[in-house]
Amino acid sequence: MVQDAAAGGGRTDTATADGGRTGTGSGAAVGPAAVRISGLWKKFGEQVAVAGIDLELPAGQFIGLVGPNGAGKTTTLSMVTGLLRPDSGQVEIGGHDVWRDPVAVKSRIGVLPEGLRLFERLSGRELLAYTGRLRGLPGDEVDARATQLLDVLDLAGAQHKLVVDYSTGMRKKIGLACALLHNPEVLFLDEPFEGVDPVSAQTIRGVLERYTGSGATVVFSSHVMELVESLCSWVAVMAAGRIRAQGPTAEVRGDADSLQNAFLELVGANRRLAGSQNLDWLGGGNR
């Protein structure tokens, strides 16, 4: 497929680009791993949300974290980005431990969480100005970058409107702008396309593709397989708090005709559908 070829090309490109970007990383990192997760656990009361994940996400790739609702994608991303404390396990980003070396990690990552609010009583432009300055960037630089981001993300017309009055798509876009403002090495996006109209989705997609093209890493979660298949060069499949498969998209897809089918096979949903003969009264002539 065309995407695969492009992604493959991107991979060889970015391996060297990444070497330049994370050259100061600790010696523990073998090869260009942007994110290294080992033995990650999280329980909420009796319920195990994430059950011991080991994952190594290569740098410079467009990485998809896919799984059905409740698979533990959001919990994983929250723990990886330092917003949720894991029960046990380790997360390293660019060779730096998320919990022991927050100074090195927080300046290197950008986050767009799902289900958390923004400072919505600020206008889009004010929110960017706030975020950039909070990140320690010089004011003039923040304003220049904000202008460009608002322009590219098609938000320039609504930049003085309060974020609370934004639509879902506009919120995702301004959230993305906030996450990109400090030019992070790794970008974590939780369901960036959820509830987003096709036009905004295409805009977001364009910005992300340009961004990974420069050698940066994007990790995003989704349950829309077609999207993941068309965007991602590398995927990790999650179900019930565990990683079921990980690797380049083509490898994970294997012999299946689409990632969707490969995914259904991996999470066992095909069997559930096949074993549904106890609904054999539904439809047909037995009325």
Instruction: Work out whether 43 is an interface residue with another protein (CB under 8 A).
Output: no
Q: Which of 117, 210, 271, 272 binds another protein (CB under 8 A)?
A: 117
Site string for another protein, 119-138 (x = CB under 8 A): xxxxx--x--xxx-xxxx--
Instruction: Work out whether 195 is an interface residue with another protein (CB under 8 A).
Output: no
Site for another protein in 76-95 (CB under 8 A): 81-85
Distance CA 194, CA 201 (A): 9
CB of 221 to another protein, least distance (A): 16
CB of 204 to another protein, least distance (A): 19
Instruction: Work out whether 102 is an interface residue with another protein (CB under 8 A).
Output: yes
Instruction: Work out whether 242 is an interface residue with another protein (CB under 8 A).
Output: no
**Size, binding site for another protein by CB under 8 A:** 39
Instruction: Work out whether 49 is an interface residue with another protein (CB under 8 A).
Output: no
Between residues 113 and 241, which has the closer beta carbon with respect to another protein? 113
CB of 224 to another protein, least distance (A): 24
Distance CA 41, CA 62 (A): 25
Q: Which of 34, 40, 111, 155 binds another protein (CB under 8 A)?
A: 111
Instruction: Work out whether 100 is an interface residue with another protein (CB under 8 A).
Output: no
Taking CB under 8 A as the binding criterion, the range among 35-43, 50-58, 101-109, 261-269 that sits at the site for another protein is 101-109
CB of 83 to another protein, least distance (A): 6
Q: Which of 56, 154, 161, 230 binds another protein (CB under 8 A)?
A: 161
Helix H, strand E, coil C: the string for the chain is CHHHHHHHHHHHHHHHHHHHHCCCCCCCCCCCEEEEEEEEEEEECCEEEEEEEEEEEECCCEEEEECCCCCCHHHHHHHHCCCCCCCEEEEEECCEECCCCHHHHHCCEEEECCCCCCCCCCEHHHHHHHHHHHCCCCHHHHHHHHHHHHHHCCCHHHCCCEHHHCCHHHHHHHHHHHHHCCCCCEEEEECCCCCCCHHHHHHHHHHHHHHHHCCCEEEEEECCHHHHHHHCCEEEEEECCEEEEEEEHHHHHCCCCCHHHHHHHHHCHHHHHHCCHHHCCCCCCCC
CB of 275 to another protein, least distance (A): 39
Neighbours of 216 (CB within 10 A): 25
Residues that bind another protein (CB under 8 A): 81-85, 102-103, 105-107, 109, 111, 113, 115-123, 126, 129-131, 133-136, 139, 157-158, 160-162, 164-165, 178
